[in-house]
Chains A and B, each alone.
Chain A
Amino acid sequence: MEKNIYAYKCKRCGYVQYPYRTICRGCHENDHNEFDIVAMSKKGKLVTFTHLYNPPSDFETVFLTLGIVELDDGNRITCQLNISKPKMGMEVTGKVEVVRKDEYNKYYGIVFYEN
């Protein structure tokens, strides 16, 4: 099954938020958990990025490329990039992968590739 990152669409006003908030940022009036879960798009444009040369110590890499992508559905997402020469505004496609591991857990997140 294809993995997705999910956003939260308010059942009252339709506002889509990512990440999750208990109270909707659009109408401030929803009841507890009154959201539809919607898969976020995996295509978008790179807004900004950085090569981080002192990544957290549990990453076994020399550097880590991180970015913010504006998705086709209008949402933005913070992500890892697997792109050697990223450029602002470039078209990218994402894949949900393991982005961080510790002793007992694997954490899934989105990694973007060049189109």
Chain B
Amino acid sequence: MRDVYVAGIGITSFTRLEFPLVEIAAYPGLMAMKESGIKSIDQLYVANMGASRANHQTGLASAVIDNMSLTPAGAETIENGPASGASAIKQGFMAVASGMYDTVMVIGAERMREVNTLEATDFVATLTHPMAEYIYGVTLPALAGMFARLYMEKYGVTSRHLAMVAVKNHKHAMDNFYAHLHEEITIEGILDSPDASTNNPMIADPLRYYDMCPVSDGGACLILTTAEIAKKTGKPMVRLAGVGQATDTHAVHDRKDPTDLLAVRGAASKSFAMAGVTPKDVHVAELHDAFTILEIAESEEVGFFERGQGHIALQEGYTKLGGKLPINPSGGLKAKGHPVGATGVGQAHEIVLQLRGEAGKRQVKNAKVGFTCNFGGFGNNVVCLTFVKEA
């Protein structure tokens, strides 16, 4: 296999965007081409989950490649639920590593705000088991609520710990221009004050409004290429060193212990093994905190902390900016936003910024190894990526 490097990156704000979906996809691509000086590509991968439902559009990659005037390069749309983004990066990685293509562009794009929140929640809920879950009215927040109840009981995690994740990630997002929510929150405001039940109502008991990510539009892009071409960009050399993916049962009730996220564990260990690093070597990580409880659970499953210790590390400030292992410096899905198909590419975008040393006020000092966990379904399809900065 050839080594694969990130030559260029681009991103839109994650928020409500009044542009057509193809432009939300094309704009970060344009940014990535400008910053890298790369003008032609061999192949485009577009990660998207809901265009056929929310935007009445199929064959998105064909529309995007034409919109960017990059024909006749190859183009494919990758749909893998909320893990579409990292899945598309994986396809790009394989294409360059195998030698089939030299330069590929990976774009994630989603425009969910074209429909209302209930419709957006419903299109995401279609990834649950149609007969065993969906018919009962199960949505992703419902699965997260049931998971959280078990997890909190088992490990002594409280609503206060969950609120700490939200407070931390909202604070991180204050320094991220592209984040959806620029709103500092306090534990008092969302839990303790008399207004807390109005500010922060219960959504999927025990999870409240501020335990959930917003519904966002947005796009992000990575250009992946060989060492030779990446050197010409003059940017710090960031190598995509490890790619791991694993799956778990479709229905959550079917898992031996429903508090185990075996796909996260599997994907992370494969990714670390390929990169030749261990969880202890990681300096900065973006985890899939669509629900606050997931940041805590994933931080354990990927191997940063022992089982049941994630919330302790959080409480001690280990995972905030300035701590020993900052998690979600971008604000995470919680505050940066969650345009489902684009999220995995957005996470990788943040890690590349951090490793290049271009993250501004939220820069993690001397970050050399970065990690992303992109969580599809309710943990039934997970892709983890490890990035390494080379001198």
Contacts and interface: CB of A to CB of B under 8 A. Distances in A.
A57 B139 CA distance: 11
Interface residues of B, number: 36
A52 B141 contact: yes
B149 A50 contact: yes
A78 B121 contact: no
Contacts, number: 102
B378 to A, nearest CB: 11
A64 B258 CA distance: 21
A94 interface: no
A56 B254 contact: no
Contacts of B205: 50-53
Contacts of B147: 48
A78 B204 contact: no
Nearest to A69: B253
B31 to A, nearest CB: 35
B4 to A, nearest CB: 34
Interface string A84-115: 00001000000000011000000101000000
A18 interface: yes
B68 interface: no
A49 B202 contact: no
A66 B253 contact: no
B254 A76 contact: yes
Contact of B119 (A48, A55, A57, A107): A57
Given A57-B118, A88-B149, A52 B251 contact: no
A88 to B, nearest CB: 7
A64 B233 CA distance: 54
Contacts of B207: 50
Given A56-B125, A59-B137, A66-B138, A48 B203 contact: no
B150 A19 contact: no
Nearest to B129: A19
22 contacts: A18-B254, A19-B132, A48-B146, A48-B149, A48-B258, A50-B206, A51-B202, A51-B205, A52-B141, A52-B142, A52-B203, A53-B203, A54-B117, A54-B204, A66-B136, A68-B253, A77-B132, A78-B129, A78-B252, A80-B137, A100-B136, A107-B135
